[in-house]
Chain A
């Protein structure tokens, strides 16, 4: 079965500190992994993706994610959090057989305190 797990419902971090939002996945074949951000009452916005190549992927708004094949993880990171980063973050994986389908994690609420 193909799935994505985001083990933390909520992550709290102080502004200026580094942040990590965790994601682990299970997929057949090569993993195609994505991070999205959602602000209240809005659609999701694409942040970054891992297809192949470097394990450290850089994306929008200073975010990056580290792909770890042995741990089947794709954690989202940012060196210095901003209050405006407070939002709901989703990890997603593409189906290994049906390239038209995606599986999303349950979401992690990031709270950045001033």
Chain B
């Protein structure tokens, strides 16, 4: 069966510090991978998605970047965090298929920038 891992689970960082959040998927090959941010426990904002190694699509210009160094690894980074980067970060994967596109989400990382 497939599983998705995210770490760390919680993170408190000062403004201006760097960020690295990691997401890995097990039990599937060549998944689509996604980073979302959820602010104030509500709507999801798509930040980045990737359909393959080294392929990153950015949805919202901002202080963050993403990388996919391996097939099942997706990393969210920042060189200098802003207060507005606080939120709940969710990684998700889906199968690349016209028919079966439901997404499977990781447990999330709660980021607080102080």
Contacts and interface: CB of A to CB of B under 8 A. Distances in A.
Contacts, number: 56
Contacts of A41: 88, 108, 110
A44 B105 contact: yes
Contact of A42 (B42, B43, B44, B107): B107
Contacts of A94: 101
B12 to A, nearest CB: 15
B102 to A, nearest CB: 5
A32 B43 contact: no
Nearest to B59: A101
Q: Looking at B36, B44, B57, B107, which has the most chain A CB atoms within 10 Å of its CB?
A: B44
A106 B90 contact: no
A37 to B, nearest CB: 11
B19 interface: no
Given A43-B90, A43-B107, A100-B51, A106 B101 contact: no
Contacts of A34: 102-103
Nearest to B90: A43
B103 A102 contact: yes
B108 A42 contact: yes
Interface of B: 6, 32, 36, 41-44, 46, 49, 51, 57, 59, 88, 90, 92, 96, 98-99, 101-108, 110
